[in-house]
Amino acid sequence: MLPIDAAAHASAWRRRHPADKAVLSLGLLGCAVALPPWPGAVLVAVTVLVIALGFARVPARRLWRAARAPLGFAVTGALTLLVSIRADGVGWAPDGPRHAGELVARSGAAGLAMLLFAFTTPLSDVLPRLTRVGVPAAVVDVAAVMYRMLFLLYDTTARINQAQAGRLGHRTRRARWRSVAGLGSAVFVHAFARARRLEEGLAGRGYDGRLRVLVDEVPVSRGFVARSVFLVAAVVVATLLLGSVMP
């Protein structure tokens, strides 16, 4: 199981309906995208961190490990805003630092809002309910199968890599490249074979185009949704008020 999925299963909000958490996370995501990055993105980021670490009990280290990759991608992209290419050559962009800071702040806040949903809602809780909101069953089935295959391939990759290390397959650079090539081909063969066996198994069970799974009937909490809407509205009002008094 991936660390982010393991954290979602252990979250204090694990038993809440996914719609409850979707209202909160998507509302904060909308604030990060639509509101001015300063101070809107900062307020959204602080709000998400307080909720995730304080109420949802998301492990701080796992949250940081999940956030640093997209944050690094945003920082790398923002570096291109610092320079401008003109007819007389390359120079510093006049408003480059401001635009780069806004991009990093907005991207970081939006990413944290999405991670709040990912760290509190296992994908296995979301996929079976997507058909109720109009998503085609075939799309949901493909996503569910890919979700399961992801863990199987991850486990297969780890076991093959461990076996290669035990046979000194990582001792030299040449041996490491040979091991990587062997790992890739072995995983591809395993994936193809597992997919074929899965197809045969579904056909043997009378697959009619839809996978049926049991879903826990958890009611939507009106109180939680109301508090989420109030919190999102408070972030919007605070951003507008602070934006009007700040230079």
Range picked from 18-22, 35-39, 166-170 for highest mean pLDDT: 18-22
At 4-25, the pLDDT tens digits run 888 888 888 888 888 999 999 9
Residue 39: cis peptide before it, omega within 30 degrees of 0 = yes
For residue 15, CA distances in Å to 57, 63, 205, 237 come to 14, 20, 31, 31
In the chain, the largest separation of any two C-alpha atoms, in whole Å, equals 70
pLDDT at 232 over 90: yes
Q: Which helix (H) or strand (E) holds 84?
A: strand 83-86
Question: Which of the pair, 235 or 90, is modelled with greater confidence?
Answer: 235
What's the gap between Cα 96 and its chain centre? 29
* Residue 179 half-sphere exposure toward CB, CA atoms < 13 A: 20
Cβ atoms of 120 and 14 closer than 8 Å? yes
Range picked from 43-52, 94-103, 151-160 for highest mean pLDDT: 43-52
Question: In b/e form, how buried is each residue of 195-222, taking b as 16+ CB within 10 angstroms?
Answer: eeeeeeeeeeeeeeeebeeeeeeeeeee
At 186-216, the pLDDT tens digits run 888 888 888 888 888 878 877 776 777 777 7
For residue 174, CA distances in Å to 168, 171, 207, 230 come to 12, 8, 47, 59
Cβ atoms of 244 and 40 closer than 8 Å? no
Closest to 72 (Cα-Cα) out of 31, 45, 113, 111: 111
Beta strands in 179-222 (DSSP E): none
Cβ atoms of 14 and 117 closer than 8 Å? no
